[in-house]
Structure 1
């Protein structure tokens, strides 16, 4: 038996449409809801156990659309999405049960919106200023001799992101400049070396963290240019999400 079936949310209620390819006499529409419900139009409830319903339908003409409007009995029941539509629907005709086509499942994804190409750095948060120059350099790690950069390498090792420190890698030169903000830094990437300029240990460390993140997100193909960065605020924040 060829049957078509659909159900949608309409004005806070449920509208079901049913079409049979052949004439049906005294069909019974059987289905489950999330909670007890009633029929507004299109049939009458002849049996209900919890959320399971049996609805007596009038005779169905072949190829004609029959509409059944349903509602939940509790006015506080919020019908929000397709999970509240009829489940496990079938028609019983005499002693025979005929399964109705299943409704759409899952989340209905919105189409992806077009976006403009991003010409910034693959860093979150973005640095205060980025001044690119032409070209990029492939870095197979970095060679350096600095305590703060060793701390960055220790972090890389703990997170299984090995390869940051490599004595045969791109050289990292550290310069101190007292006039800079205490936690600020300048990170200059050239085809021959990386130059970190900072006023404090913190600035060198944060420059190293930026270099490490860029090393990971670019797979070592670093864009050449100059990064200038410093904290927006004199404090650090942490997000604690207890709900998960």
Structure 2
């Protein structure tokens, strides 16, 4: 895959899972460079359709929200709202704590926690984490405004059901970006011959008239739904990234 927006070599270690951002056991951390590239390609599509900022970004399989948080920190100036949902209640506490760091207050709280670890244990890794958090704080402070962040429990491939958080999103989501379950670490909550098709069907009521869906999946998985049109498909290693929009 050609990197159009993250072409310059740089370090992303400040975003490493378990450094400043918290690691949720049993989940995976998505590569930050790739996440930023995918986000910016989706943003370019929205901009071409006249939607240039104030996006609502939603991840229906958020896990510990490492992907959403890294996007929120790097690109929060574009965003009005960031929402994550997951079927596993155990990871949502970590997701909420990570998403809080999209805004200055949450990052400052994390810096205090890391400074306490430095004082208690004196480890160089904790001091390096403080320095990373301070750099990330500088990024989120540049926005001069906060992003609304929320997460909730929801089965993305289950039967459609009500959710106080997600029902407020109906017709409002500009950008869906999700790394769906595959492999041995993370799996779907239920057996289904076409889990991504069910996911897309459940997303339909949430999407704004102008919106884009970016799904990252294993190359063997089918990413298709009759109500959606494929915009493009990219390949990176064992992953495929499929961009879709609702059929008009």
Determine which structure has more spread, i.e. the larger CA radius of gyration: 1
More helix by share: 2
**Do both proteins adopt the same fold according to a TM-score greater than 0.5, normalized to the shorter chain?**
no
State the TM-score, normalized to the length of structure 2.
0.19
Q: Which has the higher contact order (CA 8 A, sep 6+)?
A: 2
Could you tell me the TM-score, scaled by structure 1's length?
0.19
> Which structure's residues are more often strand, by fraction?
1
